[in-house]
Chain A
Amino acid sequence: MPSRPRIIAPAALLLLVSAAAAETPPADPAVAAKVEFFEKKVRPILVDHCHHCHSADTKPAGGLRVDDRNGLFLGGNTGPAVVPGNPEKSLLLKRIGPENAKRRMPLEGKHLTEEQTEIIAKWIKDGAAWPAIRIPASLGKIRPEYEQLRKEHWAWQPLTKPAVPAVNDAAWARDDIDRFLLAKLDAKGLKPVGDADKVTLIRRVTFDLTGLPPTPAEIDAFVKDSSPNAFEQVVDRLLASSAFGERWGRHWLDVARYGESTGPSRNIPYPHAWKYRDYVIDSVNADVPYDRFLREQIAGDLLAKAEGFAKAEGGGQKAENESGWGIFSAFRLPPSAFVDRLLTATGFLALGVKDVNQRFKVRFIMDNVDEQIDTVTRSILGLTVSCARCHDHKFDPVPTTDYYAIAGIFTSTDNAAGVRNLMGGGGLAYYVPDMLVKLSGSAPPADPARLAKLKADFEEAKKAWDAIRGTPAGTKIAANGQPTQRPYRLKFEALQTELNSLTDPAARGQAVHGVRDAKTLADTEVRIRGEAEKLGPIVPRGFLTAFTVPGAANVNPKQSGRLELANWLTSAKNPLTPRVAVNRIWQHLFGTGIVNTVDNFGVTGGAPSHPELLDHLANRFIADDWSVKKLVRAVVLTHAYQLSAEATPANTAADPGNRLVWRHTPRRLTAEEIRDATLAAAGTLDVKRPGGSPAQSLRMVEMLDNGPEARTINEKADASMNRSVYLPLLRGVVPHSLEVFDPAEQTLVTGNRDATTVPSQALYLLNGSFVRRQSLILAERLLKPNASDSERITEAYRRALGRAPTKTEVARARAFLDEYESESRQFYPDNLAPAPRRVKTAEPAKVEEPPFDPDQVDQTGTPIHEDLIRAKDARTAAWLAFTQALFGSAEFRYVR
């Protein structure tokens, strides 16, 4: 059974039309007259007297806008401004009347005349008619080409069970994967190149599986081990190491557009985001089945209830010793921690970019919903469903009604990231503690007496601030050149922060950014042309109609529908999810996906180079209980994975892109790998998980790119010796040691990173403090033991490049070291070292008075520091130059 009617016929749609959009069928002359009355008499009054502070072109003062029907009906912060048919209950009339002289609207400019007030009263009494939104005739009609696209495009056809092909050289193949690849090569008359040597192979597989270089000892052990399963043993060791989850978890964080702040507009930190990061890494290490992993992220909160781990409404809670914990016993968590883990998983939906400065709540909500739909559909399905927000998808069979069927699931879900939208505002104004997901447990209660006093002080400060805020007296410039109201605001904010630190579970570390079902569960309206305010017909919650997922359940009307969405996405019958997943795994091991557009399996995406292999892998993945580790293991044990990188002219000419996998394509290391490998070579890498993130100490207050918070974060990132995956990743504040090597764009689903070669990388490698410091540490380490220079050079090569140098290379290095040292001596006359020191590279030109408006940020003259790293003597300087050259070499940053 399809999950819901294929597509709603136009007639059916009209029946579902919400009251909102249906109120004025233009044919009815009575209604037409009311609308005319509104246009001729009422709207001009609203425009002339209210738009100044309550419209899309200005601002929604008090949360109210009068240029939109729903804006008036839903009202602002104090309730509905217009109750159709009921002037007495309509706040609008109260506020424009003389009742409350001090707050009488409009606050600025002329009050309304009696006649004008009566016009508005009459309009409300007559039902507050508003011109209907024109619904495009095409809405709900199936585009003629869709039916064909559904039938023809390969990606959403059910998985096939391709037969394993026969190959010319049966002995070459070690696995069916090899047979699929070899058959294609046979067909083109191409032969794969020879195998990679063992030193190359262990470097390749160690980076691919763990993001780290093999240690010299690991290389030696593998080279010496001539047993037939030597490589298998290496692979199993790597799969079992926690470094596997740190690398492969990072792959998922790329597509999950992971970031520790809201990003553009006003950048508010997500101080608890790291818990989601750790959840991902731990899940990968525990090899949580991929389908389960996805279900947890979309509906962890609902899963916890459905499975009895958390208390469901009217249900019990599973005891610790009860069966049903299944493979999760690996986590050895008590039930409460188990639930926390599931709640943390939903961070996937909450940690996206948010425009908290969005003035209109409805737009804020719909933009966030769109961000969720985009992330979910591109990461899991490889489909760009968000293209259907404003109109039917131009290329793929995704009608707008499908988009809003899914949107209804997310509008029925609280995006509990802890922020709200607000136009302007400083301090904690954007932070809403209730809009976080609370974890289990509780911190010891605060001292009640202190709390009571603080609350009283806070209330008083709030009252004083509210009274003076924005008033003429408040904005008047005081003797110190700042507005009179500024001390009031500072006092209010300080007390608010202090109060929060005692009362807010989040401030005490017991909350996460996640999602939960909203109080109101409902289908949502199509938004005409994607405009959040323009309500069209309601669409029942559901999933895509581009393909059928047999057996998928419809949305549970008593919940948001995320659980059913998660089940629909991860059904073994869903044609896209397993294909997209195995394609991503393939890309990470071979450099290019079988479908090269890894985030787009739609009509505009690439065609698979090996469609049968793709389905073979997908079937295998499902049969192996969606185990990522098992699939990775199978792939790296193929003959194809272990080929050398050598390029033969004939093969290059026939298949320059190596799409047919006749050799191993070299790849540049990622930003994280380059940093980790540098630390590993220098012996400074701390492989332990640091616990948390430097971002966790930040408050949910706007952070400037160059403010003290960002500076602290940068400094902590610079000082960290932990693996790169644990560096703080606030949007817009990329760690210096990652930024030049194309880290994931944190605002977008990134299935495929760029690997550019640019001079800023060379400058970083030549002059950057991080590289200089690690080079110095390695140089000093090499110089310490009693060894010959040749032995030292060999050790350096092995640490940095994973291989011993040739004789020529040793000779060249020795000559370099001698010359460099002798030329350096003049700079170290008495061998006394300038220790690493911090230099100001830019002097502040002026000291501005502190800005009284946080938006009036002037960063001119902000001093910038750079660490100058110098060796202690000429000999060390020479070795520093040598080790730094190794880190700068192309060989260091490529794996073959």
Chain B
Amino acid sequence: MSSPSAFRLPPSTFAPSRRQALKSAGAGFGMVALAGILGEQAKAAEKAAVLKPLAQKSPHFPAKAKRLIFVHMNGSMSQHDTFDYKPQLVKDNGKGGPGGGTLTASKFKFSQHGETGSWFSELLPNIAKHADSLTWLRGLYTDTPAHPQAVVQMHTGSANAALTRPSMGAWLLYGLGTENQDLPGYVTINPPPNFGGAVNYGSAFLPAHFQGTRINDQGYLPNLKAQTEADLQRKQLDLLQAMNRDLAATPGAPEAVDGVIESFELAFKMQGKVPELLDISKEPKKILDAYGANDKATASFARQCLMARRLSEAGVRFVEICQPGWDHHNNLHKGLIDRCRSVDRPTGALLADLQQRGLLEDTLVLFGSEFGRLPTQQGVDGRDHNITGYSMFLAGAGVKPGVNYGVTDEYGIKAVEGRMHTNDLHATLLALMGLDHEKLTYNYAGRDFRLTDVKGNVVKEIFA
């Protein structure tokens, strides 16, 4: 289902109906079929598509965002202690909450930031510096208050974890291809090993080359390191390619042999390029310090943020980075201090770095969790799950900065205005990337599937 090393060249990246036609020509040998269907001229173009299967495709409509970075706070960060300030909750601290439980205000200090006067707690001083450039979605809700289903829904649109659907990144690659053909188009760094695991970056019934490439937080990718000296490997590759060319020249040879030849050249290039790209050590000290790459508390997430920037800069369509450990049913106080410390500085630096380099012009950043937490107390020092109202923020390409879309009730329990279901979030993200979620379909088992299934509204109010 999930290969961690799966940046793949497909036999084709055609529209669904075309792909069906290809399948009819036999596993992977569709090019021959197409040659006849399309005629000789088209054959050349299609052959190019076969060799560069993740080639860029035009979006459905023009859009500023070319790339997406999802900063995933896995486990559900408490919005009540970080960026959702509710005066009424402070006022009614200790009283019974609607629907049960005891209302419990945050023990962390909140203050206003930037010209917009956005509220942040003292836990996120660095993210708060970007107060005026963030676009808040504050009326989010989802279907299932359990991590496995919610994480899977966040990534695939489907709350039914037993129904395997393609991940959002796979849909993006399917719809847009990717900018840099020498790199994987979809990279997920340090993804959760549970809560659906590989389903969250899988391609399900989409062709396998659309699935995410998994990298650990050290930047490790399997099979990327040559086991012999480069000159010797090149010599070996030359022999191998000579054999392949011989085969390609025989009558009736599988047409995909050209693809095999290409795949080896690309792989050889990747061996050099990808490790270089993932090696953050050559970044200037100033940058490393800004992200907190040399500070034990922030090093891991700083590495992820830096890799995300470098990959995006190099043209990777979708990068997801992940900080787990937010599921504070207990130990909320200390847990939040630790977790926020590990992500605040790197995330703040990532936003600043992207802005400085002009990348925010065409890169969209999404930050947040699979759902939120309740304003009521759980146990001695904890908060339980809340799917009826929570927040995420967007920043960068195509969104209005300094805007709050949606709002929860006075205690932050339930979204009351600007309500956005996960399907609406997906529809909006696709639209920001230039894709119409109703048109981005793939025919499988006789039916056209979508990331948003049969739902999803685009929230145009946040568009710049």
Contacts and interface: CB of A to CB of B under 8 A. Distances in A.
A106 B100 contact: yes
B267 A759 contact: yes
Nearest to A820: B235
Contacts of A193: 252
Contacts of A321: none
B194 A740 contact: no
A836 B213 CA distance: 28
Contacts of A267: 194, 197
A108 B3 contact: no
Contacts of A355: 148-149, 160-162
B162 A353 contact: yes
B254 A894 contact: yes
Q: Which of A378, A395, A646, A665 has the most B CB atoms < 10 Å from its CB?
A: A665
B224 A763 contact: yes
B36 A264 contact: no
A355 B4 CA distance: 23
A45 B324 CA distance: 37
A764 B223 contact: yes
Contacts of A620: none
Interface in A269-315: none
Interface string B246-265: 11100111101101111110
A166 interface: no
Given A424-B146, A656-B25, A856-B327, A742 B216 contact: no
B23 A266 contact: no
Contacts of B207: 754, 756
Interface stretch (A15-23, A536-544, A777-785, A878-886): A878-886
B217 A768 contact: no
Contacts of A472: 379-380
Given A842-B218, A881-B232, A663 B252 contact: yes
Interface in B353-386: 376-377, 379-382, 384-385
B267 A762 contact: yes
A748 B204 contact: yes
A63 to B, nearest CB: 14
A53 B253 contact: no
A604 interface: yes
Contact of B240 (A367, A746, A809, A885): A885
B145 A596 contact: no
Nearest to B97: A109
Contacts of A748: 164, 204-205
A646 to B, nearest CB: 4
Interface stretch (A4-12, A86-94, A699-707): A699-707
A843 to B, nearest CB: 7
A646 B252 contact: yes
Contact of A846 (B147, B267, B296, B330): B296
B267 A766 contact: yes
A824 B28 contact: no
A623 B226 CA distance: 57
Contact of A755 (B28, B99, B196): B28
B10 interface: yes
Interface in A731-766: 731-732, 734, 736, 739-740, 742, 745-748, 752-764, 766
Contacts of A823: 231-232, 235
B102 interface: yes
A109 B96 contact: yes
A755 B27 contact: yes
Contacts of B32: 647, 652, 656-658
B29 A890 contact: no
A600 B444 CA distance: 9
Interface string B5-23: 1111111000000001101
A656 B42 CA distance: 14
Contacts of B33: 656-657
Interface string B145-186: 111110010000000111110000000000000000000000
Interface stretch (A399-407, A441-449, A858-866): A858-866
A588 B11 CA distance: 20
A424 B443 CA distance: 35
B204 to A, nearest CB: 7
B284 interface: no
Contacts of A654: 36
A657 B26 contact: yes
B58 interface: no
Interface string B102-146: 100000000000000000000000000000000000000000111
A476 B329 CA distance: 11
Nearest to A892: B243
B445 interface: yes
A284 B239 CA distance: 41
Q: Which of B193, B216, B229 has the most A CB atoms < 10 Å from its CB?
A: B193
A499 B31 CA distance: 60
Contact of B239 (A756, A816, A843, A851): A816
B446 A755 contact: no
A668 interface: yes
A406 to B, nearest CB: 17
B288 interface: no
Interface of B: 1-11, 20-21, 23-30, 32-37, 53, 75, 96-102, 144-149, 152, 160-164, 190, 192-199, 204-205, 207-209, 213, 216-220, 222-229, 231-233, 235-237, 239-240, 242-244, 246-248, 251-254, 256-257, 259-264, 266-268, 270-271, 296, 299-300, 303, 324-325, 327, 329-331, 334, 376-377, 379-382, 384-385, 387-388, 443, 445-447
Sort A-B residue pairs by CB-CB distance and give the 5 closest, nearest first: A52-B100, A758-B8, A656-B36, A755-B28, A762-B267
